[in-house]
Amino acid sequence: MVLYGKDIVVLFLGVTRLRIEKDFRNNHRLREWLDTKSWEHETEEEFYEWLEKFFEEGNRVSVKGAACDLQDCIDLFESDNDK
């Protein structure tokens, strides 16, 4: 098992929705997680839709405590795909 980041799950009492907070040690670990998630979808478009929904649902991603938004994740994912 590969640990990509620290997972924090926040449960709001009385609410059935969970919020996920992932804090990665570095950009490389975040990129690995994004790459793994992209393989769970048949197309890149489906992956981007999932990622957008992930953020819309209030989930958070950070690297060394610095928040990353949807565009940060897309930019990082696409920068490695260009190689």
Model confidence, pTM: 0.76
Q: How far apart are CA 59 and CA 51, in angstroms?
A: 10
Q: How far apart are CA 77 and CA 83, in angstroms?
A: 11
- pLDDT tens for each residue of 8-47: 555 555 555 678 899 999 999 999 999 999 999 999 999 9
- How many CB atoms within 10 Å of residue 55? 15
Sole residue written with tokens 């924090």: 8
Residue 46, pLDDT score: 97
Q: How far apart are CA 4 and CA 31, in angstroms?
A: 9
Contact in structure between 55 and 81 (CB atoms under 8 Å): no
